């Protein structure tokens, strides 16, 4: 479990792909990495399989490659990093599982005074879980939804978020990982089941 508060920007230093074996090595400045640790990389929960003081390695399953933007990473790319939630961790964002629902593309990028407004595409299958003023994790960053359209939604980021995550560096057309709010999904499913029972 994570909070969506990015703790470090890591750098991809190597990628090894052989048949179904996909391995990443990430340079980082996190303090709590150890063998078997869970780390969110661009919002994707992955397990540390080896590490040295400033480098760790993770292995990625084929299903994760299909569902996320991890397979699009290249050497020297920057990634958002967050270690797993601990009992003492302040919950500054929202509950993020690290289980990506889908990906979206950055459609538009504008400014409103000190904020950057980012509009992302979303499919109908997952748009139903997104509500105005609700939470969503974009590449592992917990953000508040400003508005929702039929096939897109908008969020805003302040300068701090722009500087301390990779979101400020996104270009129009880039793919991001999207994880909708788990509480919203449970509520929607409960309501849907209740409606089916009434019918």
Each residue's pLDDT, cut to its tens digit, for the chain (199 residues) gives 999 999 999 999 999 998 778 999 999 999 888 999 999 999 999 999 999 889 999 999 999 999 999 999 999 999 999 999 887 777 777 889 999 999 999 999 999 999 999 999 999 999 999 999 999 999 999 999 999 999 999 999 999 999 999 999 999 999 999 999 988 787 877 777 765 554 5
What domains lie within the chain, and their CATH numbers?
A: 8-83 (2.40.30.20), 102-198 (2.40.30.20)
Strands 55-60 and 78-83 turn out to be unpaired
User: What pLDDT, on the 0 to 100 scale, is given for residue 180?
Assistant: 96
- What does pTM read for this prediction? 0.92
Q: How far apart are CA 87 and CA 109, in angstroms?
A: 37
Q: How far apart are CA 61 and CA 67, in angstroms?
A: 10
User: What pLDDT, on the 0 to 100 scale, is given for residue 194?
Assistant: 66
Token output for 133: 């003023």
Nearest C-alpha neighbor of 11 from the set 81, 82, 80, 77: 77
User: What pLDDT, on the 0 to 100 scale, is given for residue 31?
Assistant: 87
Q: How far apart are CA 83 and CA 2, in angstroms?
A: 7
Q: How far apart are CA 181 and CA 142, in angstroms?
A: 10
Neighbours of 41 (CB within 10 A): 26
User: What pLDDT, on the 0 to 100 scale, is given for residue 155?
Assistant: 98
Token output for 56: 């760790």
User: What pLDDT, on the 0 to 100 scale, is given for residue 117?
Assistant: 98
Read out DSSP for the chain? -B-S---EEEEEEEEEEETTEEEEEEE---S---TT-EEEETTEEEEEEEEETTEEEEEE-HHHHHHSSGGG--TT-EEEEEEPP-TTS---S--B-S---EEEEEEEEEEETTEEEEEEE--HHHHTT--TT-EEEETTEEEEEEEE-SSEEEEEE-HHHHHHSSGGG--TT-EEEEEE-HHHHHHHHHHHHHHHHH-
Which residues contact residue 156 at a Cβ distance below 8 angstroms, ignoring those fewer than 6 apart?
A: 112, 115, 116, 117, 118, 143, 144, 146
User: What pLDDT, on the 0 to 100 scale, is given for residue 171?
Assistant: 97
User: What pLDDT, on the 0 to 100 scale, is given for residue 198?
Assistant: 47
């Amino acid at each position: 479990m994570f909070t969506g508060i990015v703790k470090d920007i890591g750098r991809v230093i190597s990628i090894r792909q052989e048949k179904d074996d996909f391995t990443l090595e990430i340079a980082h400045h996190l303090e709590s990495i150890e063998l078997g640790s869970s780390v969110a990389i661009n919002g994707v929960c992955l397990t540390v399989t080896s590490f040295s003081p400033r480098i760790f390695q993770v292995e990625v399953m084929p299903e994760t490659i299909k569902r996320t933007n991890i397979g699009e990473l290249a050497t020297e790319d920057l990634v958002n990093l967050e270690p797993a939630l601990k009992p003492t961790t302040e919950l500054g964002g929202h509950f993020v599982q690290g289980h990506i629902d889908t990906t979206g593309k950055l459609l538009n990028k504008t400014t409103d005074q000190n904020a950057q407004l980012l509009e992302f595409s979303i499919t109908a299958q997952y748009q139903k879980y997104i509500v105005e003023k609700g939470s969503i994790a974009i590449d592992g960053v917990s953000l508040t939804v400003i508005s929702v359209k039929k096939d897109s939604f908008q969020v805003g980021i302040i300068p701090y978020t722009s500087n301390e995550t990779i979101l400020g560096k996104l270009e129009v057309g880039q793919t991001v990982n999207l994880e909708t709010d788990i509480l919203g999904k449970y509520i929607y499913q409960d309501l849907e089941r209740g409606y089916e029972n009434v019918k």
